[in-house]
Amino acid sequence: SLLHGDLWGGNQGADSAGNPVIYDPACYYGDHETDLAMMELFGRPQRRFFEAYNEVFPIDPGYAQRRELYNLYHILNHANLFGASYVSQAGRMIASLLAHIQ
């Protein structure tokens, strides 16, 4: 899938007519769930969004674990850009992922 790449609450909104808009893309190709995961990283979209999304493109079982993996990339990137406050979060995410595969 073609992904937005940085789809969080700060990069979405509405135009003057109320139509949804997204901006500030960092496009690449990947698993469609990657953008969904990013949307949940810094706040959770309304439940209705996921219900509507799931009606059109069902979310596969195991999404919660994949979400953790996809968001680890963004947390490591934030640790690189913004400092150590994200390192402990990355460690917790890695521990959680390892617990599922051991």
Which are the catalytic amino acids? 6
Per-residue model confidence as pLDDT tens digits over 10-52: 999 999 999 999 999 999 999 999 999 999 998 888 888 889 9
Q: Where are the alpha helices (DSSP H) in the chain?
A: 33-41, 47-56, 63-82, 87-101
Record the pTM.
Answer: 0.84
Q: What is the pLDDT of residue 25?
A: 95
Q: Indicate if the pLDDT at residue 78 is higher than 90.
A: yes
- Number of CB atoms found within 10 A of residue 101's CB: 6
| CA gap 98, 102 in Å, rounded | 6
Q: Map tokens 């968001």 to a residue.
A: 71
Going from the N-terminus, what domains does the chain have, and what CATH number goes with each?
2-101 (3.90.1200.10)
Joined together, the tokens standing for residue 68 give 């953790």
Smallest Cα–Cα separation from 12: which of 55, 52, 42, 51? 42
